[in-house]
């Protein structure tokens, strides 16, 4: 039997999903009205139990797990601690022969009061915070799991769901949860939004973030500036060196996000924080990028009276194409043809939890959520009809992993 063949069981599942379109829309609209910006602990802790209740509809064992505090660097270069919302973990049939991990995040990039309105854009699109990225994706995931539980060969497939409160800030609190579950799984499914035209992500670059704290020596800027050592000057020199790295290696990008520091203009500033990022397509390129940043810093520190402390690095390794990814992508493409979808997979510079799952040794598809666009802006939108469309696709993938048409264990072996 071909992956694209629709069995009576598949058809019954698809017919059921079609009846759930309005319920899915109501759910995602309700969730989107609750602000869950990554630093909004009140919003995160309000929504988390609501999503947990929805996960329990699958019949899985659901836990709300407190995450450890993470270190952040404030504008003065001091280490602060921040405790984000909980991780939601759901497990079903952990001893089944085929295991998968399904992941997503319920935080958004929007602080409270910055983007609050849901607007009908016409042409089947809704504009609103987190509709695409990725409360719509979580809704698709849960509906697919519920449908699989009702119609699929459930005894053959077990899964762990990890939903995180901090993907938009790097998964620093939740990475250990993602990797622990991924190591036990054969296949990963992540529900980040697909493109508006339905395209999915193929390879992903890795991402690094650095906070570099510079220390100098303060002095009166009028009376004796020669006795001062400007940390802001050093940070700006470092910024110029980093920006000069652009274009030196194919696929590697650098960006200086901000320089914090200093105070009154009559004081030579003795502290500054440079925040920068880099993206790289493969491990060798990531190592090169980090070495160039450190070399630039060594050069800056030749300046008399300047010291620095570095926080960060490549926190999300690259997710390149390999034999396992190519096989999985091919299987998903063939599966999608059964419902008239001709999926395209495009490589991207963006990162997501698919990087974390891949780093744990598990091949994965990471854009199985709703179709949408303009994410991370007040123009973010979701294509409404894609709720049932993508829930149907995800259900078919689950069915094929359970009935063996998609061989999860064999695909994972290709990672070796």
Catalytic residue numbers, as ranges: 107, 167
Q: What is the DSSP letter of 133?
A: I
- H/E element holding 134? none
φ/ψ of residue 74, rounded to 5: -85, 180
Taking phi over 0 as left and psi of -120 to 50 as alpha, with beta for the rest, 261 belongs to: left
37: its two tokens: 């910006």
Dist CA 75 CA 232 (whole Å): 12
Of 59, 44, 64, give the one whose Cα is nearest residue 177.
64
Neighbours of 112 (CB within 10 A): 13
DSSP string, 209-274: EEEEEEE-B--BTTT-GGG-B-HHHHHHHHHHHHHTTTTSSTT-EEEEEEEEE---TTB---EEEE
Q: What is the DSSP letter of 108?
A: B
Contacts of 169 (CB under 8 A, 6+ apart): 38, 39, 84, 107
Convert 20-30 to b/e letters by CB count within 10 Å (16 or more is b).
Answer: bbeebbebbbe
Neighbours of 234 (CB within 10 A): 26
Residue for token pair 């303060």: 218
Dist CA 310 CA 389 (whole Å): 46
210: its two tokens: 């650095």
Cβ(187)–Cβ(401) below 8 Å: yes
Dist CA 174 CA 165 (whole Å): 8
Longest pairwise C-alpha distance within the chain: 86
Dist CA 269 CA 34 (whole Å): 41
φ/ψ of residue 368, rounded to 5: -95, 10
Dist CA 290 CA 314 (whole Å): 8
Dist CA 20 CA 383 (whole Å): 16
């Amino acid at each position: 039997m071909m992956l694209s063949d629709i069995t009576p069981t598949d058809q019954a599942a698809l017919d059921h999903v079609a009846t759930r379109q309005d319920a899915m829309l109501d759910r995602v609209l309700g969730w989107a009205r609750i602000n869950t910006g990554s630093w909004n602990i009140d919003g995160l802790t309000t929504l988390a139990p609501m999503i947990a209740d929805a996960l329990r509809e699958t019949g899985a064992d659901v836990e709300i797990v407190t995450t450890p505090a993470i270190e952040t660097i404030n504008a003065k270069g001091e280490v602060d601690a921040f405790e984000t919302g909980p991780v939601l973990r759901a497990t079903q049939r952990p001893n089944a022969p085929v295991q998968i991990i399904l992941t997503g995040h319920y935080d958004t990039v929007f602080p409270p009061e910055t983007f609050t309105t849901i607007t009908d854009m016409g042409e089947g699109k809704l504009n609103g915070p987190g509709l695409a990225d990725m409360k719509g994706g979580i809704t698709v995931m849960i509906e697919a799991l519920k449908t699989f539980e009702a119609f699929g060969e459930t005894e053959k497939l077990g899964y762990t769901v990890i939903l995180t409160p901090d993907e938009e800030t790097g998964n620093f609190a939740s990475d250990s949860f993602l990797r622990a579950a991924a190591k036990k799984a054969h296949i990963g499914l992540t529900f980040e939004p697909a493109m508006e035209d339905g395209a999915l992500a193929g390879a992903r670059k890795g991402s690094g973030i650095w906070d570099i704290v510079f220390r100098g020596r303060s002095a009166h800027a009028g009376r004796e500036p020669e006795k001062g050592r400007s940390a802001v000057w050093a940070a700006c020199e470092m910024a110029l060196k980093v920006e000069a790295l652009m274009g030196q290696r194919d696929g590697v990008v650098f960006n200086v996000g901000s320089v914090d520091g200093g105070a009154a203009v009559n004081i030579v500033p003795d502290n500054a924080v440079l925040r920068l990022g880099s993206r790289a397509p493969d491990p060798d390129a990531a190592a090169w990028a980090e070495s160039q940043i450190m070399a630039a810093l060594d050069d800056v520190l030749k300046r008399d009276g300047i010291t620095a402390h570095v926080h960060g690095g490549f926190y999300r390794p690259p997710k390149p194409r390999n034999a396992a990814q190519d096989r999985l992508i091919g299987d998903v493409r063939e599966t999608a043809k059964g419902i008239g979808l001709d999926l395209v997979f495009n490589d991207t510079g963006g990162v997501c939890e698919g990087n974390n799952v891949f780093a744990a040794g598990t091949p994965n598809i990471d854009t199985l959520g709703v179709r949408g666009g303009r994410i991370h802006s007040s123009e973010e939108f979701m294509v409404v009809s894609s709720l049932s469309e993508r829930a149907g696709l995800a259900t078919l993938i689950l069915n094929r992993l359970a009935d063996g048409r998609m061989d999860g264990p064999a695909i994972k072996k290709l990672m070796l």
